[in-house]
Amino acid sequence: MVLKGQEVAEHNNAKSCWVIVHGKAYDVTEFLPEHPGGQKIILRYAGKDATEEYEPIHPPDTLDKYLDASKHLGPVDMGTVEQEEKEEDPDEVGRLERIAQKPLLSQCYNLLDFEAVAARVMKKGAWGYYSSAADDEITLRENHGAFHRIWFRPKILVDVENIDISTTMLGAKTSIPVYVTATALGKLGHAEGEVVLTRASGKHDIIQMIPTLASCSFDEIIDAKEGDQVQWLQLYVNKDREITKKIVQHAEKRGCKGLFITVDAPQLGRREKDMRSKFTDPGTKVQEGQETDNSQGAARAISSFIDPALCWADIPWFQSITSMPIIIKGVQRVEDVLLAVEHGCQGVVLSNHGGRQLEFSRSAVEVLAETMPVLRERGLQDKIEVYIDGGVRRGTDILKALCLGARGVGIGRPLLYAMSAYGQPGVERAMQLLKDELEMNMRLIGCNRIEELHPGLLDTRSLFNHSAYHADNLSSTVYDPLAVPSQRPKPKL
Amino acid sequence: MVLKGQEVAEHNNAKSCWVIVHGKAYDVTEFLPEHPGGQKIILRYAGKDATEEYEPIHPPDTLDKYLDASKHLGPVDMGTVEQEEKEEDPDEVGRLERIAQKPLLSQCYNLLDFEAVAARVMKKGAWGYYSSAADDEITLRENHGAFHRIWFRPKILVDVENIDISTTMLGAKTSIPVYVTATALGKLGHAEGEVVLTRASGKHDIIQMIPTLASCSFDEIIDAKEGDQVQWLQLYVNKDREITKKIVQHAEKRGCKGLFITVDAPQLGRREKDMRSKFTDPGTKVQEGQETDNSQGAARAISSFIDPALCWADIPWFQSITSMPIIIKGVQRVEDVLLAVEHGCQGVVLSNHGGRQLEFSRSAVEVLAETMPVLRERGLQDKIEVYIDGGVRRGTDILKALCLGARGVGIGRPLLYAMSAYGQPGVERAMQLLKDELEMNMRLIGCNRIEELHPGLLDTRSLFNHSAYHADNLSSTVYDPLAVPSQRPKPKL
Amino acid sequence: MVLKGQEVAEHNNAKSCWVIVHGKAYDVTEFLPEHPGGQKIILRYAGKDATEEYEPIHPPDTLDKYLDASKHLGPVDMGTVEQEEKEEDPDEVGRLERIAQKPLLSQCYNLLDFEAVAARVMKKGAWGYYSSAADDEITLRENHGAFHRIWFRPKILVDVENIDISTTMLGAKTSIPVYVTATALGKLGHAEGEVVLTRASGKHDIIQMIPTLASCSFDEIIDAKEGDQVQWLQLYVNKDREITKKIVQHAEKRGCKGLFITVDAPQLGRREKDMRSKFTDPGTKVQEGQETDNSQGAARAISSFIDPALCWADIPWFQSITSMPIIIKGVQRVEDVLLAVEHGCQGVVLSNHGGRQLEFSRSAVEVLAETMPVLRERGLQDKIEVYIDGGVRRGTDILKALCLGARGVGIGRPLLYAMSAYGQPGVERAMQLLKDELEMNMRLIGCNRIEELHPGLLDTRSLFNHSAYHADNLSSTVYDPLAVPSQRPKPKL
Amino acid sequence: MVLKGQEVAEHNNAKSCWVIVHGKAYDVTEFLPEHPGGQKIILRYAGKDATEEYEPIHPPDTLDKYLDASKHLGPVDMGTVEQEEKEEDPDEVGRLERIAQKPLLSQCYNLLDFEAVAARVMKKGAWGYYSSAADDEITLRENHGAFHRIWFRPKILVDVENIDISTTMLGAKTSIPVYVTATALGKLGHAEGEVVLTRASGKHDIIQMIPTLASCSFDEIIDAKEGDQVQWLQLYVNKDREITKKIVQHAEKRGCKGLFITVDAPQLGRREKDMRSKFTDPGTKVQEGQETDNSQGAARAISSFIDPALCWADIPWFQSITSMPIIIKGVQRVEDVLLAVEHGCQGVVLSNHGGRQLEFSRSAVEVLAETMPVLRERGLQDKIEVYIDGGVRRGTDILKALCLGARGVGIGRPLLYAMSAYGQPGVERAMQLLKDELEMNMRLIGCNRIEELHPGLLDTRSLFNHSAYHADNLSSTVYDPLAVPSQRPKPKL
């Protein structure tokens, strides 16, 4: 039996709350208090079609997983659902114009170009979610900025006719020491979500790390791979370890070749740009001082299950439930790299979560430069693979990380931007540009293979120097600079 | 008997000077030469109603305290007082519009946001007084900027489910290692003045330091506290030690739990922005070179009683008149922290007075980083509590100070701005934001309790490096940059 | 027999491709696949007059050298060649106006002034080729910026009436320790190309290095010299060593006094500004994602012959075919300077190719400061002459390099800009300005002759400090700074 | 007999050249080739009234001194001299308006404020002469900027009721350790010239150094002093030592108390801003490339007599002709301070000539910090008085220099600007502001007398760090930053 819109529309409150998603109605009345994103956001759509809001932030299997079948009310005759009249949104009009005039893909010569285009063509909220970071976004900018404090000491007169930039990571061959790192909510940027990245990675023989917080379901992303394409799993550990166990073992069964346990997000960070971009004025009736419950942004809504109690003592349990290599993602000081070795982990990712968690975390590349000499001194450099992510935009960035001793680098946002701006061809061009840049720079630094890179090819003396700060934009905005005396007004006649 | 306006208006000169305050007339003729702010400012209101100018910069008990009862002339029939016609002030019109359209409180996501709103909604002179600082305001900016040269080395994989940010300061339990530091003239920002801060502090279990130069009277501020709410006394030492003694002993009797003696202001600083904001053009009749006696700003007017002869030898006297712990406020080098220990003080506040006194004083957090290793080396770290103030805007700032060894941090201007922009709800939201930020950052740095923080969680290698300067705005304005050759004019036909 | 335009016009495709250059037709059908710049660019002119595009990037003897005489079809009656109607190019109109109003030559007071004028009067593509550099052009700016981290420690009270800035380089006397370094494609800047530099050098007794990639032919440049004017040869080594041998031996025969083998360009760099300036929109019919084969800029087109396999083992071969001194151009670390000594080279040029090759190469002057102490420590300072190029704009820059121990400095772009803006008089004025500045600064530093300069006259403590970075323009552009809360809209009536 | 204008007008060429100055005619035909500023500038006024151009750059006794009495042709009937019609100069109109509306003197709160006003009210050429400096004016800005790398370590709890900022310099008591240093061409800024500074110095008990290149004559400046006011003589040493001897002995006779021999200007620097401000377009008839002989600015014209051969060996001669203390002005490294001690000089001025001579000279305050420890180590700190000048703008700057060990500091440009903007009252206010700032800062640093200052009150760790550079304005202007891809044009309908 097909429901009519009017029927659904009657269940428009907390006592009886139905919503329509993808043409089907669901009774979420009892689920309201459990919704990780809060009940307010659901109630806004009570009795209505919530698909547009729901889509990008819930993998397709969400309703099956979390809502009892008895609450699945079946198809709705969408012709009978009242269309909300939307006021024409001037932002959206401008955005469509910008899309129509966006540059050709071939005009993008580097990864930053994609970001420039994405900023123009993405919806404001989506851009806010992808681009935002913690506090004053100092760490966000430091992540790339730190690379600018490392300079090269290139060799010359080396036969560099043949350059090979392929390598292995966690034992798997790959075309370039770069992997697609896990990022959440791919459908904010592209209607198809993370599978776009999967397909481009397949074409370029690049490893993809599958995010826990994907818009696509895990299986969709696995299904999108081709041949012996390698994928890893990024894991936010659930308070309910049975759920975690199920996820991990399913991933291993489906062929994942590495388990990356994220440890830098026991609580998801506050990202003010994201919050600000979500704010909508409740209108003039609100009294001063009366708090309004604004959304805290997508990040917090989707992450409430993450276990803040996760600790080193949990590592053996993971080792007991899987034979995938275990990599600790989000390490930020050498002491914890040593602990990872002690706990028998196969790798670490030095990362500050793209600057989205603890503000004033150091850049991964700086932590790398602190870490590798200690590992070498203790003879541990081959006991563990060290990866970094954050701020990688150029072939030279990759080269610097490799010279310092990284096994590979993860790239996140730039590929999301390429996808948001140009879809799969965008991602592929971004990957090709990285390969071209890396190959050229290998030639120019005088090395033929990744194994030949070493720290002597770098000048890192300024890397640890943070004396020149990144612009403190809020402080600068509120600071009222001193002025010289102003001219006196012209005497009136 | 009720006086008529006309009667008062006759006493409009230095020979006989009456003024009206809060509906009552006072004969201040004899007091004129003693007025700390100079007689000029009083004479401007001779024979008139001075309430608006008087109010924010005099505590309510001022007239009772300083003007003999015989000079209190009694109530005035305010209907008979001639209203000065004010020209419509375009600044004020704009300000009222800005107030009407100010952002919702819930749109303020951090302490800097309040400052941005306050700048828009405060009167120019009040803003000038709060926001100004010494000379080129380099120190003002360095105070916050110094925190940007400290980076974190966070621990991961620590069970951070439960975070406790409460602590004790001078033996008193408090919800967060933050106190409201003393700032002058609260009524410039809010009609009710400092009691607003008292009430918000009470709600948040935060200690308040009561300023000597408050707009409210000391007792009003004490009376505004609730339950076992803790307050401290900030003291400018009067040349007349009997007055000082009375103040201190009264404060102790009224329950104050700490005596903070300010030592960085033997002379109150020149603050050019404040002076410039007070300047009003005396008109075109003034001849060039003829000095006009402009107000030196509120600061100097209210501070002439402060004793510049105060020295270490006075400390035993303070110890003899009170049993409150004595804390030296305004220490700026480790040598003086050691002297404070020798003199049996219970604490020091490392502070440069919010950048308002000696320009190119180092930031408190830098002095802290210089001080604590010396104390630890000499085993004195538990002999004295070390506080800092100046430039604290973020939870990360607090966390850095605590890691270095501070017992707590004082916050001044940001709370004044929150109060000026949104009243008590503003102050409360500011306090809540600090708690949220601190708790989240404790979790992200991997510590559960304040006691677990230590310097190893920081990278301070760049803290002492001042090579990148804060913009020198006046110099930049007057510097005329070199230009490339200009095009020649188009030949005329 | 003279060909008619119509006849040529029929051969307008890949199967039969004729082009007209300087009034003569050529059949390039078979040559198409061999063209170093790709066949696409030729096909654009198939059946047409290609002179304007061809001219600046091909030395005049190119067709004779590379196209069999049988393909030279002879003169065309240019009156019968159809003129393409060009739309009026607004860029070109503006440029002509700017030329008409350009400053007088006498208004140029330093080398940067010429660059400012050149930027206004050059064609966009030519400016793009000359001014562009690798990646984010950090190295480009660092080259000059590094000099700003070196300060003087001048002597006073020295008799400096007589100053002699002449010196010898590779045994040849010269008026100033400055040479004109090799730069490609001089006709992009001036219709006569490199011979303009030759003539100015002759007048000023300055040594010129002749570029492999000149617009003029090698012999034209040699023929333009006067008297015993000294010239050197810059060499890109061809994969076909016979060609290289012929070039080297011809140069020696024609009197060249030094062979500078370029080693920092096994692959010519990507220069995005150049690529972007070449881009032309193929029109709206192009589908998204469909790659368009845009020119990669002049650099890559003209350099495909360069041998990436060139290595130290090739040096003896060069020594066997010439008795000119051999100088390795493009050395970037002290280790390779030592290798050059070991291989019996007479000199090195510390250079990063004007920032056009490996981004984040250190400036030549920094490498110089690293190199000379090592050479002195090993007693090798007289075994090899050390030159630098890159970023030299001022007499003080030259003086700093000489104090550090350079034998001389090369100047490239600034002279191209002077030539592009004002022709030979421009180049001569630039040379005179350098001499004036150097002589004055010798006097002000208290030295009479070049030999008296030494490192003690400098303060180089900050030279190796890269903590303050050059603006990262793309990153800054794409970064969306945090904003304070915005005012709420005015309520509608 | 009084000459007629027409008569004079006939002598309007190099063969017979008469000029009128202050209503009298002079035959300068024979003097033309000897004129230090070149004959061109005189010929521009041949047969005409040259007073306006002549006045500010020639002391009144110039014609008597340098032109034989026989060439003094006597008074001219000025009514008969043809007035050149001047086009209304739009710059001048704007300037007069700016003068009419300039801020009140009482609105100037610091020395930079005077500079801001001077920039508005001075003639372009005069401003160009005063404000310009060498090359890119890096040193000019570094002079003040260096003070920003020095921070205070103030003492607290010191009795600072009584502050005494008086001191002695070269044995003379003075109210403040500040002297008015020598600057040229005072009449460019004020019609009365240097005597304005003399009078203000007298009122403030401040020592004045009389410049060789004053607009006023030496005796006028001496005559303007009052009572026992102290003056020193700044000396450019003439190639003709008899002239020098006469000047020195005359100065001693007239009471000068110190001889400051300038040694940093064997050749006066090129100052491009000055040159550019002097440039006037010779019109469109000038052909490209044809050099026009523009004035090199006032500096070079007036300084051709300076002896570049002056050296240490000349010092005994000076000691033989005067008993005034001899101070070497323009020392820039510690080695030369030691030489000054060895040569028995009584003092040195560490100075780079206000950034007008050798670009990239270090600031005087940095050289001071290098010098004093060496002097103390060798026990020479009391053998010589060390002064500095350059960049002093604030009381804190003076205080820093004194803490480091300077006996006093010279101030030049700021007083010229105060004079140019407001005449003598301006200079006096500037002096008072410095006294107020210094006294206040002495109190805030916790010292009562100048002798108590010492280096331990400073943090100079960043002083020698030049890694953050001053803006390189010409380079920045000519650099064309990279851009992200631009939007495509809207398709035409």
Dihedral of alpha carbons D301, D302, D304, D308, sign: negative
Average pLDDT over every residue of D169-176: 98
Catalytic residue (choose from D129, D179, D236, D387): D236
Q: pLDDT band at residue C406, thresholds of 50, 70 and 90?
A: very high
The model's pLDDT over B44-98, given as tens digits with 9 standing for 90+, comes to: 889 999 888 888 778 888 888 778 888 999 999 988 988 777 777 888 899 999 9
Kind of pairing between the strands at A72-75 and A24-27: antiparallel
**pLDDT at residue D287 greater than cutoff 70:** no
The model's pLDDT over A324-365, given as tens digits with 9 standing for 90+, comes to: 999 999 999 999 999 999 999 999 999 999 999 999 999 999
Q: Is C483 on the interface with A (CB under 8 A)?
A: yes
Options 3.20.20.70, 3.40.50.300, 3.30.565.10, 3.40.50.2300; CATH of A127-276+299-464: 3.20.20.70
Average pLDDT over every residue of D29-53: 82
Whole-number pLDDT of residue D110: 95
Residues 297-316 of D with CB under 8 A from B: none
Q: pLDDT band at residue A280, thresholds of 50, 70 and 90?
A: low
User: Catalytic annotation on B54?
Assistant: no
| High-pLDDT (> 90) share of chain A, % | 71
Average pLDDT over every residue of D231-249: 96
**pLDDT at residue A218 greater than cutoff 90:** yes
Average pLDDT over every residue of A130-134: 94
Options 3.40.50.300, 3.40.50.720, 3.90.79.10, 3.20.20.70; CATH of C127-277+301-465: 3.20.20.70
Where exactly does CATH 3.20.20.70 map onto chain C?
Answer: 127-277+301-465
Instruction: Note whether D480 contacts C119, CB cutoff 8 Å.
Output: yes
CA distance D188 to A316: 84
Q: Is D283 on the interface with C (CB under 8 A)?
A: no
**pLDDT at residue A93 greater than cutoff 70:** yes
Whole-number pLDDT of residue A300: 55
The model's pLDDT over D464-490, given as tens digits with 9 standing for 90+, comes to: 999 877 888 888 888 888 888 888 887
pLDDT mean across residues, chain C: 90
Catalytic residue (choose from B236, B387, B417, B422): B236
Q: Is C488 on the interface with B (CB under 8 A)?
A: yes
Min mean pLDDT across A243-247, A288-292, C8-12, D71-75 is at A288-292
Of A272, A400, A461, the CB nearest to C482: A272
CA distance B161 to A176: 39
Instruction: Note whether B151 contacts A362, CB cutoff 8 Å.
Output: yes
**pLDDT at residue B493 greater than cutoff 70:** no
Instruction: Note whether B154 contacts A489, CB cutoff 8 Å.
Output: no
Q: Could you tell me the end-to-end alpha-carbon distance of chain B, in angstroms, rounded to an integer?
A: 85
Contacts of B292 in chain D (CB under 8 A): 104, 106
Contacts of B330 in chain D (CB under 8 A): 156
Catalytic residue (choose from D264, D274, D336, D389): D264
Of B286, B310, B464, the CB nearest to D461: B464
Average pLDDT over every residue of D42-53: 87
Instruction: Note whether D116 contacts A487, CB cutoff 8 Å.
Output: no
Instruction: Report yes or no: B203 and B196 within 8 Å, Cβ to Cβ.
Output: no
Q: How far is A394 from chain D (nearest CA, A)?
A: 15
Contacts of B100 in chain C (CB under 8 A): 490
| High-pLDDT (> 90) share of chain B, % | 71
Whole-number pLDDT of residue C60: 80
Residues 435-474 of C with CB under 8 A from A: 464-470, 472, 474
Contacts of C470 in chain A (CB under 8 A): 148
CATH class of B127-277+298-463: alpha beta
Contacts of A128 in chain C (CB under 8 A): none
Q: How far is D299 from chain C (nearest CA, A)?
A: 14
**pLDDT at residue B23 greater than cutoff 70:** yes
**pLDDT at residue C285 greater than cutoff 70:** no
Task: Say which CATH topology domain D126-273+302-463 has.
Answer: TIM Barrel (3.20.20)
Q: Is A342 on the interface with B (CB under 8 A)?
A: no
Contacts of B314 in chain D (CB under 8 A): 157
Contacts of D264 in chain C (CB under 8 A): 154, 156, 444
Of B138, B269, B484, the CB nearest to D148: B138
Where exactly does CATH 3.20.20.70 map onto chain B?
Answer: 127-277+298-463
Average pLDDT over every residue of D122-141: 94
Whole-number pLDDT of residue B293: 41
Whole-number pLDDT of residue C471: 87
**pLDDT at residue D317 greater than cutoff 90:** yes
> Which of these, A14, A36, A37, A9, lies nearest to A25 by C-alpha position?
A9
Q: pLDDT band at residue A299, thresholds of 50, 70 and 90?
A: low
CA angle D30, D33, D37 (to 5 degrees): 125
Q: Strand, coil or helix: what is C425? A: helix
Q: Annotate D357-393 with DSSP letters as a single string.
A: SSTTBPPHHHHHHHHHHHHHHTT-TTTSEEEEESS--
Q: Strand, coil or helix: what is A349? A: strand
Contacts of B486 in chain C (CB under 8 A): 103
Other C-beta atoms within 10 Å of B364: how many?
A: 31
Q: pLDDT band at residue C31, thresholds of 50, 70 and 90?
A: confident
Instruction: Note whether A102 contacts D488, CB cutoff 8 Å.
Output: yes
pLDDT mean across residues, chain B: 91
Whole-number pLDDT of residue A303: 67
| High-pLDDT (> 90) share of chain C, % | 71
Binding partners of A (≥3 Cβ pairs within 8 A):
B, C, D
Where exactly does CATH 3.20.20.70 map onto chain D?
Answer: 126-273+302-463
Residues 399-418 of A with CB under 8 A from B: none
**pLDDT at residue C283 greater than cutoff 60:** no
Q: How many helices (H) and strands (E) does chain B have?
A: 19, 16
Q: How far is A195 from chain C (nearest CA, A)?
A: 18
Q: pLDDT band at residue B274, thresholds of 50, 70 and 90?
A: confident
Instruction: Note whether D116 contacts A484, CB cutoff 8 Å.
Output: yes
At position A110, the amino acid (one-letter code) is N
Q: Is D317 on the interface with C (CB under 8 A)?
A: no
Closest Cα in chain D to B330: D156
Q: What is the DSSP letter of C68?
A: -
**pLDDT at residue A34 greater than cutoff 90:** no
The model's pLDDT over C345-381, given as tens digits with 9 standing for 90+, comes to: 999 999 999 999 999 999 999 999 999 999 999 999 9
The model's pLDDT over B293-338, given as tens digits with 9 standing for 90+, comes to: 444 445 555 667 899 999 999 999 999 999 999 999 999 999 999 9
Min mean pLDDT across B219-228, D82-91, D108-117 is at D82-91
At position A398, the amino acid (one-letter code) is I
Min mean pLDDT across A61-75, B277-291, C443-457 is at B277-291
Q: pLDDT band at residue D63, thresholds of 50, 70 and 90?
A: confident
CA distance D490 to A245: 54
| High-pLDDT (> 70) share of chain A, % | 93
Note the Cα C215 to chain centre separation in Å: 12
Note the Cα A171 to chain centre separation in Å: 25
User: Catalytic annotation on B264?
Assistant: yes
**pLDDT at residue D40 greater than cutoff 80:** no
Average pLDDT over every residue of A82-97: 83
Catalytic residue (choose from C11, C113, C353, C389): C353
Q: Annotate B116-176 with DSSP letters as a single string.
A: HHHHHHS-HHHHHHHH--STTSHHHHHHHHGGGG-EE----S---S--B--EEETTEEESS
Residue C381's φ and ψ, nearest 5 degrees, are -60, -25
Closest Cα in chain D to A116: D484
CATH architecture of A5-80: Roll (3.10)
Q: How far is B100 from chain C (nearest CA, A)?
A: 8
**pLDDT at residue C301 greater than cutoff 70:** no
The model's pLDDT over C82-117, given as tens digits with 9 standing for 90+, comes to: 877 777 788 889 999 999 999 999 999 999 999 999
Where exactly does CATH 3.10.120.10 map onto chain B?
Answer: 5-80
Instruction: Note whether D485 contacts A101, CB cutoff 8 Å.
Output: no
CA distance B278 to B125: 6
CA distance D73 to C164: 45
At position C480, the amino acid (one-letter code) is D
Instruction: Note whether A396 contacts C360, CB cutoff 8 Å.
Output: yes
Highest mean pLDDT (candidates A13-17, C41-45, C387-391, D87-91)? C387-391
The strand ranges marked E within B302-373 are: 326-331, 347-350
Instruction: Note whether B148 contacts A469, CB cutoff 8 Å.
Output: yes
The model's pLDDT over D253-280, given as tens digits with 9 standing for 90+, comes to: 999 999 999 999 998 888 998 888 876 5
Q: D319 to each of A116, D169, D322, how far by Cα in Å?
A: 71, 19, 6
Q: Is D103 on the interface with A (CB under 8 A)?
A: yes
**pLDDT at residue B477 greater than cutoff 50:** yes
If one compares D208 and D492, the residue with the highest pLDDT of the two is D208
**pLDDT at residue B214 greater than cutoff 80:** yes
Q: Is D485 on the interface with A (CB under 8 A)?
A: yes
Instruction: Note whether A160 contacts C288, CB cutoff 8 Å.
Output: no
Residues 28-57 of C with CB under 8 A from A: none
